[in-house]
């Protein structure tokens, strides 16, 4: 427990967390501070590009082996499994209807790439290495949860299941964030260390600064979401936003231990399994489930789970992974 508290205190005083807090506080206080949408989009593209390329270069250095394949398979399986758990937990903890419960579940079965990056930064500060291919695992966990949400509606909501058409599949698989992340990853694999050497000054040194500004914007968005969702989030839903990440992290812990990942890799698997999407999945939900309430799924994923993971969750997952792996 002392280790978790120490890690949490250290994490809370890191620049990336403090910039998120600044944005959140400014939004709650109704400051006119804002980040232009075009700038926010550019920062998002930069982060996805840098994450994907560095991960691909890491895989090129690591090589294709059993550990990588097992990690990818585990990531896909978890992305199919976790939303089912989230759906039925929501049905117990809240009064959400089938459609909204499935939409929320899809967010928790997918991943938050920014939480993944924040976790990677914490590992780096702690001096812990991790498998470079974990970004590939992150990419593999983006889409399956959306398909599970549609299956849950087809199974539990009569007349709601005719949604898995070619247009929807195109929307899911060609979502901009997925295309850039996967494409950058593949380019990193192809070019390897030589490619990294050529653009390292662009994707390594500025990365932390761009991440701070991006999290400032995320804080602003999260604060606005909480302000506008008064009366929507019940105590049961708020509790779900904290309990579900903890449950998801245990799935990631089990996967990391079974595969035999390093303490850093196991921590990242826990972070991926505990995070909730607020980029790729909301875009797909607008097409697949337009009747689902964005105030519920966006506020839960971005306004509750994201800050929880950023401030307390990551230190908890790191401490548990270290204890479980002996690292």
Task: Give the pLDDT confidence of 49-65 residue by residue, as tens digits.
Answer: 888 888 788 778 777 78
- Separation between Cα atoms, residue 98 and residue 291, nearest integer Å: 11
If phi > 0 it is left, if psi is from -120 to 50 it is alpha, else beta; for residue 33 that is beta
Q: How far apart are CA 142 and CA 161, in angstroms?
A: 21
Q: What is the pLDDT of residue 168?
A: 62
pLDDT digits (tens, 9 = 90+) for 1-27: 565 566 666 666 778 888 988 998 999
CA triplet 277, 48, 140: central angle to 5 degrees? Answer: 55
Query: How much is the pLDDT for 116?
Result: 92
How far apart, in whole angstroms, are the C-alpha atoms of residue 45 and residue 165?
A: 28
Residue 269 CA, distance from chain mean position: 11
Give the CA distances from residue 38 to residues 41, 115, 202, in Å, rounded to whole numbers and listed in that order: 5, 22, 20
Strands (E), the chain: none
What is the model's pLDDT at position 196? 92
Question: What is the per-residue pLDDT for 56?
Answer: 83
Which ranges of the chain have pLDDT less than 70? 1-12, 157-169, 171-173, 175, 229-231, 283, 287
Fold (topology level) of 2-24+36-325: Na+/H+ antiporter like fold (1.20.1530)
Cα(280)–Cα(71) distance, rounded to whole angstroms?
Answer: 21
pLDDT of residue 122: 87
Write the DSSP symbol of residue 311. Answer: I
How far is residue 147's CA from residue 233's CA, in Å, rounded to a whole number? 25
Q: What is the pLDDT of residue 269?
A: 97
| Cα–Cα dist 119/245, whole Å | 14
Residue 54: how many CA atoms within 13 Å on its side-chain side? 20
**119 Cβ contact list (under 8 Å, min separation 6):** 267, 268, 271, 314, 317, 318
Structure confidence at residue 160 (pLDDT): 45
Q: CB atoms < 10 A from the CB of 55, how many?
A: 26
**CA torsion, ordered 270, 276, 278, 280, to nearest 10 deg:** 70
Report yes or no: 219 and 27 within 8 Å, Cβ to Cβ: yes
């Amino acid at each position: 427990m002392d280790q978790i508290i120490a890690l949490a205190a250290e994490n809370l005083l890191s620049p990336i967390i403090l910039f998120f807090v600044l944005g959140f506080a400014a939004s709650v206080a109704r400051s006119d501070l804002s980040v232009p949408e075009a700038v926010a989009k550019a920062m998002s593209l930069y982060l996805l590009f840098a994450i994907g390329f560095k991960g691909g270069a890491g895989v090129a250095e690591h090589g294709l082996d059993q550990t990588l394949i097992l990690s990818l398979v585990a990531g896909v399986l978890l992305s199919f499994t976790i939303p089912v758990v989230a759906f039925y937990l929501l049905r117990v903890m809240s009064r959400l209807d089938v459609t909204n419960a499935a939409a929320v579940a899809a967010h928790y079965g997918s991943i938050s790439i920014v939480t993944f990056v924040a976790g990677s930064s914490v590992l780096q500060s702690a001096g812990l290495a991790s498998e470079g291919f974990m970004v590939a695992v992150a990419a593999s966990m983006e889409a399956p949860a959306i398909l599970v949400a549609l299956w849950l509606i087809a199974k539990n909501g009569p007349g709601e299941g005719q949604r898995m058409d070619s247009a929807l599949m195109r929307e899911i698989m060609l979502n901009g964030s997925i295309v850039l992340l996967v494409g950058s990853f593949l380019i990193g694999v192809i070019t390897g260390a030589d490619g990294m050497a050529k653009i390292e000054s662009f994707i390594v040194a500025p990365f932390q600064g761009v991440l701070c500004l991006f999290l400032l914007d995320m804080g602003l968005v999260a604060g606005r979401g909480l302000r506008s969702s008064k009366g929507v989030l019940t105590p049961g839903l708020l509790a779900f936003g904290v309990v579900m990440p903890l449950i998801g992290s245990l799935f990631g812990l089990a996967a990391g231990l079974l595969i035999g990942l390093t303490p850093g890799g196991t921590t990242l698997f826990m972070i991926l399994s505990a995070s909730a999407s607020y980029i790729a999945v909301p875009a797909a939900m607008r097409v697949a489930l337009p009747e689902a309430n964005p105030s519920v799924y966006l506020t839960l994923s971005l306004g509750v789970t994201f800050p929880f993971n950023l401030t307390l969750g990551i230190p908890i997952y790191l401490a548990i992974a270290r204890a479980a792996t002996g690292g």
